[in-house]
Chains A and B, each alone.
Chain A
Amino acid sequence: MPPKGSGSRGGRNPTNKTSAAPSTSRAAPASRGRPSRGRGSAKSAASPSREAGVNVAASEEDEVDDDGDDEEEEEEKKKTIPPDLVTKLLHEFFQNEDGTTRITKDANGAIAKYMDVFLREAIARAAVESPNKRFLEVEDLELIAPQLLLDL
């Protein structure tokens, strides 16, 4: 239900505008997102790093280092969706009536990573959607949601 809601809202929004606006704006995040994702995966193959998930404007990464932050936090500089939470959520949605569906630890970690990519991609595309605004807003998300859901 949530994806439909967000999808329909995202679909409704472009109709309010001129037809040119949504088509160009949709092309922008898609073209920006795909090559950068490729770059991210290529980099992670060369030298494994957590940046594989965050690739749009990966160069900006250098500016934001955690030296200014608490040093005890440096281990978990990149926050992720907690894998335990992912486990809970997945089991919430499994449909098998016996409740026998299980999941390996590795697979769960991979899904957490997948959701992390999904989330950061959503934020990055929303940010590209409105380059000159100070705030990330719901409308930006509505514009990118349909293509994002198709891409990931």
Chain B
Amino acid sequence: MADAPEEDSRERLKAALWYAIGQIVDEESLRLNRNATPQFIGMLTMMVMGQIENVAIDLESFAQHAGRTTINTDDVMLLTRRNSDLQGMIKDFIDKQKADKGGGKGKGKAATSKR
């Protein structure tokens, strides 16, 4: 069991992700007027985990290809190259993040407007 610590940390990360996803699912299911089964959340967690794994490896490769070891926002934009709508959303988000940082508080997601 040489890889026991690594497995352990991965399990704990999964648990943390599970919790975070559960929160979002609760929020969304309230909005959609549905309930989500625990298995649904579990499988979502597996999907997101897998997607993060792919994303991590892709981003690392993109940065490496550009001769860097630090991933920056350009690499993230490259990640979204196949979906122009997604590209627009992420671009907006990055621009907003930059603007927020320039203008004071650097929390990109803490949008203010309440509809």
Contacts and interface: CB of A to CB of B under 8 A. Distances in A.
A114 B34 contact: no
Contacts of A86: 52
Interface in B46-102: 46-57, 59-60, 63-64, 69-73, 75-76, 79-80, 83, 85-86, 88-90, 92-94, 96-98, 101
Interface string A120-151: 10111011000001111110111001001101
A37 B83 CA distance: 10
B69 A100 contact: yes
A103 B92 CA distance: 20
B70 A120 contact: no
Given A75-B110, A109-B108, A85 B20 contact: yes
28 contacts: A40-B89, A48-B113, A52-B89, A52-B93, A57-B31, A79-B23, A79-B24, A80-B20, A80-B109, A81-B24, A81-B48, A89-B17, A89-B49, A93-B53, A93-B56, A102-B70, A106-B97, A107-B71, A107-B73, A109-B97, A115-B51, A117-B86, A122-B44, A123-B24, A123-B25, A134-B34, A136-B37, A137-B39
Contacts, number: 237
B51 A3 contact: yes
Interface of B: 9-10, 13, 16-17, 20-21, 23-25, 27-32, 34-37, 39-40, 43-44, 46-57, 59-60, 63-64, 69-73, 75-76, 79-80, 83, 85-86, 88-90, 92-94, 96-98, 101, 106, 108-111, 113-115
Interface bin, chain A:
35 or more
Contacts of B92: 41, 44-45, 48, 52
Contacts of A113: 89-90, 93, 108-109
A107 B52 contact: no
Closest 8 pairs (CB-CB, A-B): A2-B50, A3-B50, A93-B56, A41-B88, A37-B85, A136-B36, A102-B70, A103-B71
Contacts of A141: 40, 43-44, 47
Most buried by B among A78, A105, A109, A116: A109
Interface stretch (A11-19, A21-29, A59-67): A59-67
A126 B17 contact: no
